[in-house]
Chains A and B, each alone.
Chain A
């Protein structure tokens, strides 16, 4: 799954540690999601969407689909 996490984070000038603190997860988790090594669960995806004030679809996209 592709995601725009790095871009959204950069727009707000947040470091991975800043985002991790806001999400209450480890910095490794943020790094793993950004690099596509780990797909977050639905609750975490909703948390990200709420944090960036957008929809889940605006952050994550299926590599095969739209």
Chain B
């Protein structure tokens, strides 16, 4: 598995590799911010200003990824790959909106979802969008092997 990932990574063009690295860095930042958020909001000082700052922080990696993907799309010379990536992003957006609809329905019904508060599932929007986009991209590329 590790070797297959390495082979796939080595097949990427320079600009694709750079984009993957930057997205990975943003995802790591997202994870660290989420963990820091949890500890600060759960156990730390709950001063209003701090809460607002920490609540807004997870948006930064999201913007970073959007900028990285946007720059990649501008620089990608292969029009088919460009189209495939845009399609994958649209699938990601569709799945995220659908996920939000489910979350809203669960909230309206005051239902618990595997013990999770439905409201907290919204925090996973970015992960859902990214995972759905990635799967869509892999499926499309596999169909054109």
Which residues B113-145 have CB closer than 8 A to chain A? 141, 144-145
Residue among B79, B84, B144, B145 facing the most chain A CB atoms (10 A cut-off): B144
Interface of B is mostly: helix
Tell me whether A28 is interfacial, beta carbon within 8 Å: yes
Tell me whether B77 is interfacial, beta carbon within 8 Å: yes
Q: Are the CB atoms of B83 and A28 closer together than 8 Å?
A: no
In whole angstroms, what is the CA distance A40 to B78 when docked? 10
Instruction: Categorize the interface residue count of chain B.
Output: 10 to 19
> Which of B79, B81, B144, B145 is in CB contact (< 8 Å) with A41?
B79
* A11 / chain B contacts, CB cutoff of 8 Å: none
* A25 / chain B contacts, CB cutoff of 8 Å: 77-81
Q: Mark B16-27, 1 if CB is under 8 A from A, else 0.
A: 000000000000
Q: Are the CB atoms of A29 and B145 closer together than 8 Å?
A: no
Of chain A, the residue at the smallest CB distance from B140 is A28
In whole angstroms, what is the CA distance A38 to B84 when docked? 10
